[in-house]
Amino acid sequence: MKSRYEGKKIAWVGPFKGEHHYSNFIKRTMEGLGIEVVPVDYRTDADKLGRILPSLEVDAVIVNRGEGIPAELIRSLAAPTILWYGEYIWGNDQAAAYRRAEVIGNGAAFDYVVWEGHNEPQVLQLLRNLNCSNVSYVFPVRMDQEIYRKMDVEKTYDLSFIGSATPRRQAFLNFLSDNGIEVNQCTNYNLKEQVEIINRSKINLHINFVEFKTHTQVNMRVMDVLGCGAFCLTEGVEKEEMFTGGEHLAYFEFNNPQDLLNKVNHYLAHDNERERIARQGHEYFYTNYSMEKTVLALLDKIDFSLSNKRSEIKRYGIGHDKFGAATDKILSFQSACKMMIDRAYPHHWHMAGYKLYELGFYDAAIENFRKSLELCPDRPETLDLLLRTHCQRGDREVASQLFQRLSRIAPDYPGLNQLNQLLTSERDHNVKSRTQGIRR
């Protein structure tokens, strides 16, 4: 199957060694669309990336996850760069913080950041809050029909769970066992064994590894099950946009082990209903989703006409990227402009407040800085300018509170000493004014 991207040359950067079948599957899919793929394993070749990536003459560089790739290296590449990311990053727990640090490390350096998942407003906004450019999403599919397929085998397990045994998951599974449900647990990453377990199970269960609820997203494990034509019972989402409960799979209420137990007992007792849902889910999935559609949707996000395109600095003057560095790369300049125009970005409100501050319209500046902080509460640059604005208005107490907040959030912020001097001079000035007033 050729495509409108036939003839493009793309560097596909991801983990390839070991059990990373997904990266190789995407590579084969791109090649099937007529794309020349240059595979780069950023984990195995981490110490060589500084030589490998700049030497590639490609139309785009697409990175899957890409933790640890230096931001400076990504920014230096001439071709458009795309971060394709789908890890759990939006919660307040350690698991989310750990993965969020990956995006904080280099996400803003990419020309495009594409969420590997369905419409998740909180994730898309978080990515914008982290200064990521051209944020969008494509639905996730890892379905390789050569691996995930329906097998004509006997259902020997009532209930199976495949995945790592995190404390939260184990608590749910223990609850089922304590109530008479035998659970077949599998932590083996052998794909052939997983597919056989899925096919041999009456119910295939998915539980979120930590306590979080998604908007419309379903886990990749759900797609493994539907691809095999088996029945899937998964933890509930806010909105059933991708698959409908009772038609394509079944949901149990978020964080509700009793509802999980009730659903398990119900579907074990109703074979015909369970098999009907499994059949419908299998047919619906293959009709509406495929890796080819996902890859094409991803490539549609990229403006290939800007690949390696640079402006004539002498003719137009010097443009700046979103980091404030001079650039002649048109895509970098456009991304910086979009962030200032798009009201979904904290940077839009920050820059509007900054201009108002420079013009002396302090009340309006404060309003814009606060809107920026509503989207991104811990942004040091905005706290800095908000503090300065309150100093200009004489709001010393508010300015001092903002300084304490900034010191706590970003103790290494380079402007702290200057702000401290500003507050000190303000205090000294006010003390001197009060003393002179008493003498008079």
Q: Distance between CA atoms of 161 and 57, rounded to whole angstroms?
A: 45
For 242-258, the pLDDT digits (tens) are 899 999 999 999 999 99
β-sheet bridge partners, residue 82: 62, 112
Closest C-alpha to 384, from 361, 407, 362: 407
For 384-429, the pLDDT digits (tens) are 999 999 999 999 999 999 999 999 999 999 999 999 999 988 665 5
Q: For tokens 């950067």, what's the residue?
A: 13
- Residue-level pLDDT at 434: 41
Give me the helices (H) in 11-120, please. Answer: 21-32, 49-55, 71-76, 94-106
Banded pLDDT at 2 (limits 50, 70, 90)? confident
Asked whether the predicted pLDDT for residue 71 surpasses 90, the reply is yes
Asked whether the predicted pLDDT for residue 20 surpasses 90, the reply is no
- Residue-level pLDDT at 367: 98
Contacts of residue 174, Cβ cutoff 8 Å, sequence gap at least 6 = none
- Residue-level pLDDT at 111: 96
Domains of the chain: 9-141+293-306 (3.40.50.2000), 157-289 (3.40.50.2000), 343-432 (1.25.40.10)
- Residue 91 or 265, more confident: 265
For 138-186, the pLDDT digits (tens) are 988 877 888 899 999 999 999 999 999 999 999 999 999 999 999 999 9
Asked whether the predicted pLDDT for residue 96 surpasses 80, the reply is yes
For 202-234, the pLDDT digits (tens) are 999 999 999 999 888 888 899 999 999 999 999
